Structure 1
Amino acid sequence: MGIIGLGGGPLSLVSQIGALYGGRRFSQCLVPFHTDPNVAGTLRFGEGSEVSGEGVVTTPLASEEGETNYKVTLKGISIEETFVPFNTSNDVLSKGNIMLDSGTPTTYLPQDFYDLLVQELKGHSTMVPIEDDPDLGSQLCYKSEGNLEGPILTAHFENDADVPLMTTQTFVPPKDGVYCFAMAGSSDGEYIFGNFAQSNVLIGFDLEKKTVSFKPTDCTNE
């Protein structure tokens, strides 16, 4: 077991093998959190890692050349037809306001943005949130014996790159019979689109074109 550096910096594996395998690009397809541990996702480098076909959307990378983190611009998230903007104030939306990080499970959002999302999620559900479990803290959680049935969320990235998020990507089971919202609020100015939300999406990073492409995919069968 170990760590593979997949960032945009010169020391990452992507940069070091790019000249040998068809350019500095790679794709990943992560399986959902509660998938059988014997089922693995995929990771491809260079030629053959392009994300193409029906359903692909592409957004610009906002990271500087050689920067390790992959930054993109998230305009907001919709719960069904209700759009919640990333900036809840009238401030200009800053480029590269969120980082795509496959090493962080939870998605971290500005606190005001997160609070509005939770409010809208509660309004779009007929279920009653769990409020009497100290182990869950202030998380939005529901009791469900099977896979949770809830509203579809859509992440809206720059360049009309809309990525639908099913409940397997937005709610995870911390224990049997309980599903909790896989996002959290943050006040430190560092925001992350985590690997729960990235699961079941074929994601292609092209460091030469400076783009990220998304394609909804069953990563357990990739």
Structure 2
Amino acid sequence: MKGCVYFVIILFHLSISSSSLEPNNGLSIDLIHRNSPLSPYYNPSMNQSNYIINAAFRSISRMRRFNFTPPQNKAAQTLAMENRGDYLMQIFVGIPPKKVIAIADTGSDLIWFQCSPCNDCYFQNFPFFDPLKSYTHHLIPCYRITCKYLFIHSCGNAAECVYGAEYDDNSSSRGILGTDTVSFNNTQFGRIVNYPNIVLGCGYHNTGNFKPTGEGVIGLGGGPLSLISQIGHQFGKAKFSYCLLPYNSKRTSQIKFGVDTQTNRRNLVTTPLVEKFPSTYYYLSLERISIDGKNLMPRANETVGNIVIDSGATLTTLQSNLFYKLKTAIIESIGKGHVPERYPPEPFELCYKRIENSMCLMMLSTTMGHSVLGNYQQVYFNVEYDLDKKTVSFAHSNCK
């Protein structure tokens, strides 16, 4: 049914055997928050305050990388910054398989990671994937339609497809498009499953503002090169879902492909996906925000497809007009007995002093083209994307 989706506005306390997959059985994979104690990048010295502030700045940076307008003189970006995502997926690439830990990202399409030999790559904590050691790796010619799906593409010296991406902070990635076998540990059945001929990018020139805590990106966007677009037909349905746990959880989150996960759930609500450029992003229509029964509305001409749901962004960012309505309503709701901090810690815009600590609104304002629903507001929701029906559905869940 269609209904209202309610998200909590949060104030935070600042201080191998293998087999091919049988159709329709579905695929379930662990998602690990990069700051979780289960993560290979866990840093026990980082407290909650450090994490939240860093996540806020990453969310702002990620918002600035989104390109919502068709390319004109300069091609639009095709990849998300690898250090902008929070949830990690473990995959195996090639035969024999090489383990790769990458960001699961609904804000990008292409599957890519750093490859060797590479003299122009950023440092990462694990060895690079070497396509020459995989006997199932094949280059894609630049005349194929697959190459032309990319906004930035060209022909290499041997007529291979060369992909490229550029970012506002002068970071960039450039490499060769190919196909290879990609494998996953299917936690639903406790075995490794293989997917042959998956399109992926081997990055050989990756410079700029990248971090060592990730080997690449698993694109889950709506474009033709994303993982769900490439494997959805094997399940008979282009559908995936996830249920995200908070960063300090001792359990892993799950992402599922080709499985109906919303059956018989209470308080299930479904909202249409809106088709807009680029097809990578999942656009929804934010109709209102309610505070103590008071409805806050976006501008009348900014209601259809005005928010992107994005697993790679941590915090939700709202268009400034709506954000400041929300800020005012929260201040009025809390009451005159509690005065907001005059100089809240950056980049937050609404905080209250509580003894020695601060309580801050876990949303940010933006003047960019769209609002973004980040993963912090998606925690403990089962979120299901049905690309055949073009809908996204939400249901509260304990993620078990």
TM-score (norm 1): 0.74
Q: Counterpart of 2:282? A: 70
Equivalent residue runs for 1:128-207 within 5 Å: 128-132=339-343, 135-136=345-346, 139-144=349-354, 177-207=357-387
Are residues 1:218 and 2:218 paired? no
Equivalent residue runs for 1:27-66 within 5 Å: 27-33=241-247, 35-36=248-249, 38-50=250-262, 52-64=264-276
Q: Counterpart of 2:228? A: 14
Q: Please say if residues 77 and 85 of structure 1, whose CA atoms lie closer than 8 Å, have aligned partners that are also in contact.
A: yes
Per-residue CA deviation, residues 40-99 of structure 1 (Å, 9 max, x unaligned), is 222111024445421100000002598111001001111121110012xxx334421110
Partners of 1:21 and 1:79 lie apart in 2 by 41
- Deviation at 1:29? 0.9
Partners of 2:293 and 2:276 lie apart in 1 by 34
Q: Please say if residues 245 and 380 of structure 2, whose CA atoms lie closer than 8 Å, have aligned partners that are also in contact.
A: yes
Structure 1 residues 93 and 136, CA, compared in 2 at 3 Å: closer, same or farther?
A: closer
Q: Give the alignment partner of residue 329 of structure 2, picking from 97, 104, 120.
A: 120
Q: Counterpart of 2:301? A: 92
Q: Please say if residues 51 and 213 of structure 1, whose CA atoms lie closer than 8 Å, have aligned partners that are also in contact.
A: no
Partners of 2:382 and 2:376 lie apart in 1 by 13
What CA RMSD, in Å, does the superposition of the two structures yield over aligned residues?
2.3
Partners of 1:138 and 1:201 lie apart in 2 by 24
Aligned residue-pair number: 184
Per-residue CA deviation, residues 12-65 of structure 1 (Å, 9 max, x unaligned), is 1111111112311011111235x33x3222211102444542110000000259
Partners of 2:244 and 2:323 lie apart in 1 by 24
Partners of 2:262 and 2:236 lie apart in 1 by 11
Structure 1 residues 183 and 207, CA, compared in 2 at 3 Å: closer, same or farther?
A: same
Q: Please say if residues 18 and 46 of structure 1, whose CA atoms lie closer than 8 Å, have aligned partners that are also in contact.
A: yes
Structure 1 residues 26 and 51, CA, compared in 2 at 3 Å: closer, same or farther?
A: farther
- Deviation at 1:210? 0.4
Describe the SS at the equivalent of 2:235: coil
Structure 1 residues 27 and 51, CA, compared in 2 at 3 Å: closer, same or farther?
A: farther
- Deviation at 1:128? 3.3
Q: Please say if residues 286 and 303 of structure 2, whose CA atoms lie closer than 8 Å, have aligned partners that are also in contact.
A: no
Partners of 1:216 and 1:49 lie apart in 2 by 12
Describe the SS at the equivalent of 2:283: strand
Partners of 1:77 and 1:109 lie apart in 2 by 11
Partners of 1:195 and 1:26 lie apart in 2 by 16
Higher Cα Rg, which structure? 2
Structure 1 residues 195 and 66, CA, compared in 2 at 3 Å: closer, same or farther?
A: same
Q: Please say if residues 262 and 268 of structure 2, whose CA atoms lie closer than 8 Å, have aligned partners that are also in contact.
A: no
The one-letter code sitting in structure 2 at the alignment partner of 1:140 is L
Describe the SS at the equivalent of 1:32: coil
Q: Please say if residues 287 and 298 of structure 2, whose CA atoms lie closer than 8 Å, have aligned partners that are also in contact.
A: yes
Describe the SS at the equivalent of 2:325: helix
- Deviation at 1:211? 0.5
The one-letter code sitting in structure 1 at the alignment partner of 2:369 is G
- Deviation at 1:195? 1.0
Structure 1 residues 92 and 190, CA, compared in 2 at 3 Å: closer, same or farther?
A: closer
Structure 1 residues 132 and 10, CA, compared in 2 at 3 Å: closer, same or farther?
A: closer
The one-letter code sitting in structure 1 at the alignment partner of 2:315 is T
Q: Please say if residues 9 and 68 of structure 1, whose CA atoms lie closer than 8 Å, have aligned partners that are also in contact.
A: yes
- Identity over aligned residues, as a percent? 34
The one-letter code sitting in structure 2 at the alignment partner of 1:136 is E
- Deviation at 1:132? 4.5
Per-residue CA deviation, residues 96-146 of structure 1 (Å, 9 max, x unaligned), is 11100010112111111101100111111154323345x33552123458x
Say which structure, 1 or 2, has more relative contact order (CA 8 Å, 6+ apart): 1
